[in-house]
Structure 1
Amino acid sequence: MAGPTPAYGGGPPHATQTGPREAVRGFRPTVGAGLGFLTLGLACLGDLWWRDATWLDDTGPGPAFFPGFLSALLVLLGAAMALGIDEAPETVAAGEDGASLQATIKFSLLLVGLIAAFPYVGGLLGLSLFVLLETLWVERRSVLISVASAVAAYCAIRLVFVVLLAVPLPPGPLRWIG
């Protein structure tokens, strides 16, 4: 019986382990996420095509324009992530799986908190607080950058969803904020 394989701390160089653990060892989580985004974007575009929704007509953009635009962006983002275009070489080489797992858990907790608090805090305030806490807690940015990001998110969400698309976001207890 041969000793441990090189993947497990030694052994002859010709001995290789061929199990599911080794097959996944070189797989980066961003590749999986990228393939997921790519698949979701293509599925959404296919659904819009299948429903024969109107993209543009004589009056301007139709009901499929904005979802189609976002789906196309999701396809591009997924392709970039799957190909590793979005990562800096030092991040890929460092293999910060522990840090990315911790950030993913923090982000997921914030997302669950946003979903739970959304009807009570309100749409604009809830999403802005989410961006503020995400940049402070998950990304560990400075307070100034975090507040600026939250204000920019508030303005962008208000412009796109409230003004342009007229989406009725829940107002929450501070109705004057949005």
Structure 2
Amino acid sequence: MQLGASTNKFVIANPETCIGCATCMAACYESAYERGKLATPRLVVSRVDGGTMPNQCRQCDDAPCANVCPVGALRFGKNNYIEVYEDLCIGCKMCTIACPFGAIRAEAEKMPSVNYNMEPNYNLATESEIGAKSIAVKCDLCNGREDGPACVAVCPTGALMFIDSQATIEAKAKNTVASFVETTKRHHV
């Protein structure tokens, strides 16, 4: 892998420290709302026999979701992560099928052309509703939020970590070189 522009930042969870409190989901919801996005969490706390942990986009270098999007609603942004352009999304759900992590899903939002006072009540938290526009929802690392991903900031156990893969690679390389130099000095003294 060539280092540089192709290495992405992402959020990852430690299932051994996650307590399943869903505080991250609440913070994600609030962050999306404050940034003018569809007010729904971009991560989902999964509960399985082995424990709990949030599942969110890994910001893949090859981005299967973006590769299958027929209208370009999913694409690499300036910060080298996959952005969702909600206004372009046609709700085809191809991205949900292509994501190897199940970290992208379709949600529905009200359409301006529908008079909801005259229509029956809709459950907009489901994937498809008549009179509602289905759009892709995935982690966007709280793009535009100064303090980075809200989920990481509020996690009470520190189970969520914001990973900068480029910085991690550089730190490991620096540490390895420093260890090598120290070992070499000891053997030559």
What is the TM-score when the length of structure 1 is the normalising length?
0.22
| Bigger RCO (CA 8 Å, 6+ sep) | 2
**Hey, which of these two has a bigger chunk of helix by percent?**
1
What is the TM-score when the length of structure 2 is the normalising length?
0.21
* Structure number with bigger Rg: 1
